[in-house]
Amino acid sequence: MFSLSGKLALVTGASGGIGAAIARQLHERGAIVVLSGTREGALQEVASTLGGERVHVVPANLSDDAQADGLIARAEEVSGQPLDILVNNAGLTRDTLVIRMKDEDWSQVLKVDLESPFRLARAALKGMQRRRSGRIISIASIVGTTGNPGQANYSAAKAGLVGMSKSLAQEVGRRGVTVNVVAPGFVETAMTDVLPEAVREKLLGNIPLGRMGRPEDVASAVVYLASDEAAWVTGTTLHVNGGMTMV
Amino acid sequence: MSNEIADKVKKIVVEHLGVEEDQVKPDASFIDDLGADSLDTVELVMAFEEAFSVEIPEDAAEKIATVNDAIEYITKQKAA
């Protein structure tokens, strides 16, 4: 069950907490993993924890259109095989209340968190459609469903990923390509480390399973959606949030 | 030259739509006669672009409905 042996997977944002965990679990299941992100040193570190076998590092800045458009081809070139699994995990936040939000706070988040997944999916689909198989998995967030003060840009992008994935799922379903979303709740990463203690306490009180999420919790959901076992699942959003929001 | 293009177009249509060669008549419509769906037609256009090294913009692609439409468009592009 859940073997990904010999499959090529690209993970964006692979040096982050969730991205590295996704890469690790895909790798454990036998996938050849291409790690992408902006920080080459951090990517190399993740690569070395994977033992250096079946792993490639391809740095890219996804706020650059040309780099986003070309990343799939580079991943296929460096690994010498076509892409089976695309994991759109890269994302950034520029949190502030709307009334204080600058144009570039909005546009930069939309660019990296929503537009680059579109560009990557478009590039990946050319081959996937022809081969009649493929997996596109995007990491969204519970705030795309619930909203969150201070995150109008981020939650708009994450909600956008869900809408895009549903449309795409309908476009390419007949070609054996599935398109799904994993929406984490509050996971312990650098992104949530900055939350004040009082906010964390309050959050924990709202989580029936009584703890923050771990990057591995999210990665397991990605492994499932990437696997052959999830062949009849498309256009869905798998919420991984400890029961905090039941949708 | 134009025969070469016609043969290549027909070959691509046969491969992509999984139809028999004798079904690919000049006035055959991809959707109505050859069982293509909208995504098939997009894939066909992409295959033509690749095979003939031409760019087929969206508005031109929309007008390519039959085998002959494709042959004519590509022949014109290649002559230009």
Beta-carbon separation of A175 and B39 below 8 A: yes
Using the structure block, give the residue that is written with the tokens 């996937």. Answer: A128
The verdict on A172 touching B (C-beta cutoff 8 Å) is yes
Beta-carbon separation of A126 and B37 below 8 A: no
Q: Provide the 10 A C-beta neighbour count for residue B4.
A: 10
Beta-carbon separation of A171 and B37 below 8 A: no
- Report chain B residues whose CB lies below 8 A from the CB of A175: 39
Name the average pLDDT for chain B: 92
Q: What is the pLDDT of residue B79?
A: 85
- Report chain B residues whose CB lies below 8 A from the CB of A130: 43
Ranges of residues in chain A whose predicted pLDDT is under 50: none
Distance CA A193, CA A200 (A): 9
- Report chain B residues whose CB lies below 8 A from the CB of A129: 39, 43
Residue of B22, B37, B40, B59 marked catalytic = B37
* Nearest in space to A42 (alpha carbons), one of A68, A63, A71, A13: A13
* Nearest in space to A11 (alpha carbons), one of A44, A33, A41: A33
Q: What is the DSSP letter of A16?
A: S
Q: Is B40 a catalytic residue?
A: no
Q: What is the pLDDT of residue A69?
A: 98
pLDDT digits (tens, 9 = 90+) for B1-39: 568 999 999 999 999 999 999 999 999 999 999 999 988
Tokens for A122, please give them: 């478009």
Beta-carbon separation of A126 and B39 below 8 A: no
